[in-house]
């Protein structure tokens, strides 16, 4: 009997070692109390040197949903990305990307749907007139870099060991020729230590790996609340920039009606 138990244990360990995706998902444990529904986090996205500013406001719209609103005040169109999370995979389950126009109309630019628990994703870009594409995902949890790592930020408060390290997959739209969406590979997120950032105590994490072309950087996570205070990464997440910085500028609570008014107001010319 003892021999059988030892054999079963060795088999289980072997399966775990051969299943890195499972091991990485187990770095997280969902806690509903760490989902601040109604909170809006306002950021300024720039190059690391502060140039080319864009406003990004991210609202926790529900227990499984985040909405990212990207805009230049008074300069439509703006972009609204609606993402639903799969808390079993700590990755996105679905995404809808829209353009918001000054007259209040919306145009769907892209949709993404996770299949097989996130092992594959179906991507549709109707505005390009191309057929939907299906992409294999090599590592779970996985996140979209061009989504400003918003789904990773939403998952960070659920880390079992905030002082540990884990590996994620990264996928992105393809801004060049070829497939419309690509799996970029893996990146490691590793705790570095505690650091005060703009007067706020944060946990600092290094993020780097082949998925970021080994041009990584750091995340600063609010120690008390768990949200992102700052990100600085050498690799841009959009070809319009040369690097990537996302700096928190404010936090507030908004109901759905207030959130919609906020979006409309940012499309109107100043004065």
Residue 214 has pLDDT above 80, yes or no: yes
Q: What tens digit of pLDDT does each residue of 25-75 get?
A: 999 999 999 999 999 999 999 999 999 999 999 999 999 999 999 999 999
Structure confidence by residue, pLDDT tens digits, 66-108: 999 999 999 999 999 999 999 999 999 999 999 999 888 999 9
Q: Could you give the count of Cα atoms lying within 13 Å of 234 in the half-sphere of its Cβ?
A: 11
For residues 94 and 87, what is the distance between their CA atoms, to the nearest angstrom? Answer: 12
Taking 90 as the threshold, does the pLDDT of residue 115 lie above it?
Answer: yes
State the average pLDDT over residues 222-235: 98
Domain map (residue ranges) of the chain: 2-27+36-267
Residue 26: count of CB within 10 angstroms of its CB: 12
Give this prediction's pTM. 0.90
pLDDT at 140 over 90: yes
What are the two backbone dihedrals, phi and then psi, of residue 183, each rounded to the nearest 5 degrees?
-85, 120
pLDDT at site 11:
31
76: phi then psi, degrees, rounded to nearest 5: -70, 160
Please state, in angstroms and rounded to a whole number, the distance separating the CA atoms of residues 83 and 52: 25
d(CA 12, CA 22): 12
Which of residues 8 and 261 earns the better pLDDT score? 261
What is the rounded distance in angstroms from the CA atom of residue 173 to the CA atom of residue 79?
A: 15
CA-CA distance, 121 to 262, in Å (whole number)?
32
């Amino acid at each position: 009997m003892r021999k059988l138990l030892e054999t079963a244990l060795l088999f289980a360990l072997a399966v775990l070692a051969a299943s890195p995706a499972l091991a990485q998902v187990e770095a997280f444990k969902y806690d509903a109390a760490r989902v601040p529904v109604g909170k809006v986090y306002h950021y300024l996205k720039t190059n690391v040197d502060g140039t080319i500013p864009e406003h990004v406001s991210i609202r926790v719209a529900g227990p499984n949903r985040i909405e990212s609103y990207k805009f230049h005040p008074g300069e439509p169109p703006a972009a609204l990305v609606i993402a639903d999370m799969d808390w079993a995979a700590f990755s996105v389950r679905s995404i809808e990307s829209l353009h918001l126009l000054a007259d209040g109309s919306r145009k769907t630019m892209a949709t993404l749907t996770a299949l097989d628990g996130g092992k594959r994703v179906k991507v549709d870009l109707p505005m390009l007139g191309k057929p939907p594409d299906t992409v294999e995902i090599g590592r779970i949890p996985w996140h979209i870099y061009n989504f400003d790592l918003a789904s990773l930020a939403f998952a960070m408060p659920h880390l079992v060991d905030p002082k540990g390290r884990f590996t994620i997959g990264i996928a992105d739209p393809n801004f060049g020729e070829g497939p419309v969406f690509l799996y970029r590979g893996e990146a490691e997120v590793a705790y570095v230590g505690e650091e005060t950032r703009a007067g706020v105590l944060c946990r600092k994490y290094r993020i780097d790996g082949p998925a970021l072309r080994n041009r990584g950087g750091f995340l600063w996570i609010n120690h008390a609340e768990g949200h992102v205070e700052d990100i600085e990464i050498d690799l841009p997440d959009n070809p319009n920039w040369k690097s990537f910085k996302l700096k928190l500028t404010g936090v507030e609570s908004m109901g759905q009606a207030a959130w919609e008014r906020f979006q409309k107001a940012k499309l109107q010319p100043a004065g």
